[in-house]
A and B are shown apart, each in its own frame.
Chain A
Amino acid sequence: MPLIFVGGLLFGFGLGFSHMARPEVVLQFLQFEDFGLLFVMGGAAAVTGIAFAVVPRLFDRAPLTGDTYGRRLKSFDRNVLIGGAVFGVGWGLSGICPGAAYASLGVGNVTILWALVGMFVGAYFQGYWRSQRSAAVSGGTNVSDR
Chain B
Amino acid sequence: MATELIDPALYETLFPVGISRYAVGGVLVGLGAVVIYLGTAIPAGASTFLESTLSYVSDQSRFERYRRSRDWRVVFTLGIVAGAAVYALTFQSGLISSGLYQSGTTGELREVGGLTIWLTDVQPWRLFLGGVLVGIGTRIGKGCTSGHGVCGVGSASKTSIVGVITFLVVAIGTAQVVMALGVSP
Contact = CB atoms under 8 A, between A and B. Distances in A.
B74 to A, nearest CB: 10
A125 to B, nearest CB: 6
Contact of A122 (B92, B136, B151, B157): B136
A71 B157 contact: yes
Contacts of A19: 21-22, 25, 104, 106
Given A7-B32, A108-B118, A109-B117, A13 B86 contact: yes
Interface string B162-176: 111011111111111
Interface in B77-114: 77-88, 91-92, 101, 104, 106-107, 110, 112
Contacts of B145: 41, 91, 97-100
Given A3-B40, A83-B138, A30 B171 contact: yes
Interface residues of A, number: 119
Contact of B119 (A36, A92, A111, A125): A111
Contact of A86 (B18, B112, B133): B133
Interface residues of B, number: 128
Nearest to A106: B84
B135 A125 contact: yes
Contact of A134 (B33, B62, B174): B62
Interface of A: 1, 3-25, 27-28, 30-49, 51-52, 55, 61-65, 67-76, 79-112, 114-128, 130-131, 134-135, 142, 144
Given A5-B79, A30-B171, A131-B61, 9 more contacts: A7-B35, A12-B84, A24-B120, A48-B150, A52-B151, A73-B159, A83-B139, A88-B174, A106-B80
Interface of B: 14-19, 21-44, 46-47, 49-51, 53-54, 58, 60-65, 71-72, 75-88, 91-92, 101, 104, 106-107, 110, 112, 115-122, 124, 126-146, 149-160, 162-164, 166-179, 185
Which 9 residue pairs spanning A and B have beta carbons closest together? A8-B79, A122-B135, A83-B141, A118-B131, A18-B25, A94-B130, A108-B117, A106-B84, A88-B170
